[in-house]
C-alpha cells in the first residue's frame, strides 16, 4: 500500500511520474489496484479539539430539558452544521417501525478543511449559547 501527502503541484507531478511505471507493471502482472485520491482527512489534533469541545458542551448544557453526552452532542451539532452548509441529514422511518432515525455524515469521514469548518461552527455555537470554552481560554 502506498500513501503520500501532496502539498504542491510540482510534488504531485513527480509522484505521478514515479508511480506510472509501477502501476503499469502491477497491472501487466495481473494485479488489481485501487487508486484513491482525495483531500487530506482530519488530523488527530482536530479530533482531540472536537472531542474536548463536545465534552465541555455535555458538561455545561442542557437541551430539550435534559443533559446529553458528548456523543449525542456530536450528532446534534454535526447535523446542524450540515444544514447550515446546505447539506441535509436524512430523517427516515426506523427499520423496526418505531419512530425515526437521522442519518448524517460521520466526523470520521470529514476532510481536514471540513473538520476545521465544523470546529469553527461549534465554537461559534458555544459562544452563542454561553458555553465556557476552556479549550480556547488556555
Domain with 50 in it: what CATH number? 1.10.3790.10
* 115-136 pLDDT per residue, tens: 999 999 999 999 999 998 765 5
**Total structural domains in the chain?**
2
Same structural domain for residues 3 and 33? Answer: yes
Residue of higher predicted confidence among 134 and 38: 38
CA distances from 42 to 46, 52, 124, 133 (A): 6, 15, 20, 21
Residue 127 and residue 65 in one domain: yes
pLDDT for the residue 35: 85
The three cell numbers locating residue 22: 509501477
Question: Which among 48, 43, 47, 70 has a CA at the least distance from the CA of 57?
Answer: 70
User: Does one domain contain both 76 and 125?
Assistant: yes
Mean pLDDT within 10-38: 91
Amino acid at each position: 500500500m502506498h500513501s503520500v501527502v501532496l502539498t504542491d503541484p510540482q510534488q504531485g507531478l513527480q509522484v505521478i511520474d514515479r508511480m506510472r511505471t509501477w502501476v503499469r507493471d502491477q497491472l501487466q502482472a495481473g494485479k488489481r489496484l485501487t487508486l484513491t485520491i482525495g483531500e487530506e482527512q482530519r488530523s488527530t489534533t482536530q479530533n482531540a479539539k472536537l472531542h474536548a469541545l463536545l465534552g465541555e458542551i455535555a458538561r455545561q448544557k442542557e437541551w430539550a430539558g435534559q443533559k446529553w453526552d458528548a456523543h449525542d452532542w456530536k450528532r446534534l451539532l454535526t447535523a446542524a452544521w450540515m444544514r447550515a452548509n446546505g447539506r441535509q441529514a436524512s430523517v427516515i422511518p426506523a427499520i423496526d417501525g418505531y419512530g425515526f432515525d437521522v442519518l448524517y455524515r460521520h466526523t470520521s469521514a470529514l476532510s481536514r478543511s471540513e473538520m476545521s469548518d465544523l470546529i469553527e461552527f461549534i465554537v461559534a455555537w458555544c459562544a452563542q449559547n454561553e458555553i465556557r470554552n476552556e479549550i480556547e481560554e488556555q
